[in-house]
Structure 1
Amino acid sequence: MREEFSFLTQSGNKIRASIYHQDISISKTCLILVHGFKGFKDWGFWPYTAEYFSNKGFNVVSFNFSHNGVGKSLTEFDELEKFADNTISLEVSELNEIIVAVKNSHFGKIKCSSVGLVGHSRGGAVSILAASNNKNVDALAVWASVAKLDRYTERQKKEWREKGFIEVLNSRTNQMMRMNAALLEDIEANKNSSLNIEKAVKSLNKPFLIIHGEQDLTVPVDEGRLLYEYSDKKLTEFEIIPSSGHTFDIVHPLESSNTKFDRVLEKTLSFFKKYLNNN
């Protein structure tokens, strides 16, 4: 069953979410799915992923960050002004609020015996940063995660500061999407503290799965290797999907799954079954 849910964060921002479950009265492992940059909960593989894990006996929460740019439409970038104002720290803060709400059964009243995170791309980094400081997270899996948040050249940064924004093209929608200087300022101000991914991975101390496509051109597989290098090898599993790109060859709208993405789901399922108690 899929139910729609929304709530306001402590800062007054609206979070839209979908909750997938088979029996809301039973306490189960709850998985929170975390989309990445220019992502949203109804993109491509996310509804398929949520249904997959729900059918395997998990409670699943998939949500949109308040400033991801997708509003009431749920599928179109109709809030570009919010997208422009987004920051990594805002996303980490919102994910932490969602984790606590889910754990305490305040989120659609689902009951959680344990909590796992699944983050893709930048959502992987946000998941790592949140999980490293949130005692309610019991395990996390990241798909094609970035290992560094400062991804910009000095030339880009100079232009960004001078203009107050930079623009990126969404090749799927042909929209030019503005990012205000607040994003750069947030990354630079916190890169050695709250947004330091290396530090977060090294302090994680919980089961950690890293999955990366061998031919990822958006986030090279070397970033997956770097995350593994930072990690506690006794608690970490690292899987490279051969001949696979950033979204494991899944497109939006979803046409069908494929053997590569099936492998991602199977590996993630095996990981959570191994480390989390699912009644």
Structure 2
Amino acid sequence: MITQEQFVIPGLHNKDIIIDVHYSAVGINKPIMVFCHGYKGFKDWGAWNLMAKTFAEAGFYFIKFNFSHNGGTINQPIDFPDLEAFGHNNYIIELDDLKAVIDWIEHNNHIEKTANINDINLIGHSRGGGITLIKAEEDSRVKRVISLASVCEFANRTARIEDPEVWKKNGVAYVVNTRTKQEMPHYYQFYETFLLNETRLDIKRAVSNLKIPHLIIHGNNDTSVSINEAENLHLWNAKSTLEKIDGANHVFGATHPWNDKSLPNHLKEVIKKIIAFLNNN
């Protein structure tokens, strides 16, 4: 039997963080997995809930959460009812949100009864992959990291949102969400904050300095983030493990909403590879 619980914790930037946990009632000292969603993503997207249940059935304590400024709210965590919050998001806020979740794990007595708080592992999808890689390098509490269809850099992506001079003049740039048709704002602070923290936000620097096991998984049919970015991550960390999923797209066959009771085949393959990696490292 899988237990599912939800918690709300304070973030470090005046917005709360909503957290889901999935775990089996059987056993103790379960390895902890913390999943970070990507850009224009959320914890309940597509097949992520089914993925969480699958990991819980395999004996892991699985945690997923919404970044505090991802555009969702506590009462409406799916999609983006709070575009103002989305506009004020940035990479540093997401790193601080992840820190808040790890802090919560470390000091939560409820978790200690079922999970091993000394075995914290991070999984990040897409932009969330970059966030987890930076956090894994700088936080000794993280024991293993898995980057899933991850980006390998933030600099070019940030600059491509809008011409910096135009962005500064207008104060905001908009990116269209092709699924919801929303025009999603990025206030100029997003670019300013990146420039002020460029060294910390250098994924190549973080990956090159990783001292823990690192699994890289990427589909060779990913049209959102090129598989070349996975190859770069692997190049920068020779001790990492690179697994390519033949024919897989950016979301490993899932869509939103995902109404099937079974995982897409490519995501099943991803989960098997992650479990094998965690069991062998």
Cα distance, 1:155–1:140 mapped onto 2, change above 3 Å? closer
Q: Distance in 2 between matches of 1:23 and 1:156?
A: 52
Count of aligned pairs between the two proteins: 272
Partner in structure 2 of residue 86 of structure 1:
89
* Alpha-carbon distance between aligned partners in 1 of 2:109 and 2:123, rounded to the nearest angstrom: 20
Deviates further, 152-161 or 9-18 = 152-161
Aligned to 1:162: 169
How big is the shift at 1:108?
5.3
The offset of 1:19, in angstroms, is 0.8
Mapped partners of 1:55, 1:25: distance in 2: 11
The unaligned stretches of length 5 or more in structure 1 are none
Where does 1:63-142 land on structure 2 (aligned, <5 Å)?
63-71=65-73, 72-105=75-108, 111-112=115-116, 113-142=118-147
CA shift, 1:45, in A, is 2.2
Matched, 1:172 2:163: no
SS at match of 1:30: strand
In structure 2, do the counterparts of structure 1 residues 2 and 187 end up closer, same or farther at CA, with 3 Å as the change threshold? same
Q: 1 CA distance for matches of 2:227 and 2:84?
A: 32
- 2:33 pairs, out of 17, 31, 34, with 31
129, 134, 151: which one aligns with 1:146: 151
Q: Once structures 1 and 2 are overlaid, which stretch shifts more, 119-128 or 11-20?
A: 11-20
Q: Quick check: 2:13–2:93 contact (8 Å CA) kept in 1?
A: no
- Cα distance change on mapping 1:107 and 1:213 into 2, 3 Å: farther
Per-residue deviation, 1:217: 1.4
1:205 aligns with 2:211: yes
Answering whether residue 241 of structure 2 is matched by residue 237 of structure 1, we say: yes
Normalised TM-score (structure 1):
0.92
After TM superposition, give the deviation of residue 248 of structure 1 in Å: 1.3
1:11-55 residue CA offsets vs partner (Å, 9 max, x unmatched): 432000111111388221010010011111000121111101100
Query: Which residue matches 1:56?
Result: 58
Deviation of the 1:134 alpha carbon: 0.6
Residues 1:213 and 1:156: Cα distance change in structure 2 (over 3 Å): farther
* Deviation, structure 1 residue 274: 1.2
- Inter-CA distance 175–229: structure 2 relative to 1 (3 Å threshold): same
How far the C-alpha of 1:202 sits from its partner, in A, is 1.1
Deviation at 1:156, TM superposition (A): 2.8
What displacement does 1:155 show?
Answer: 5.8
The aligned runs of 1:2-17 (5 Å cut-off) are 2-17=4-19
Mapped partners of 2:107, 2:161: distance in 1: 44
Shift of 1:240: 1.2
| d(CA) in 1 for partners of 2:161, 2:87 | 20
Q: CA offset at residue 154 of structure 1? A: 8.8
**Contact residue 32 and residue 120 of structure 2 kept, 8 A:** yes
CA 1:10–1:89: 2 relative to 1, 3 Å: closer
Contact 2:253–2:265 (8 Å) recurs in 1: no
Q: Counterparts of 1:100 and 1:189 in 2: how far apart (Å)?
A: 25
Q: TM-score scaled to structure 2, two decimals?
A: 0.92
Give CA deviations for 1:217-251 in whole Å, capped at 9, x if unaligned.
111111111111111x23x1101111221111210
Aligned AA (1:58): F
- In the alignment, what sits opposite 1:274? 280
- For the residues of structure 2 that align with 1:239 and 1:38, how far apart are their CA atoms? 25
Q: 2:222 aligned with 1:216, yes or no?
A: yes
Structure 1 residues 108 and 225: alpha-carbon distance in aligned structure 2, compared to 1, 3 A threshold: same
Any stretches of 5+ residues in structure 2 without a counterpart? none
- Structure 1 stretch displaced more, 139-148 or 10-19: 10-19
In 1, Cα distance between equivalents of 2:181 and 2:247: 27
Secondary structure of residue in 2 paired with 1:138: strand
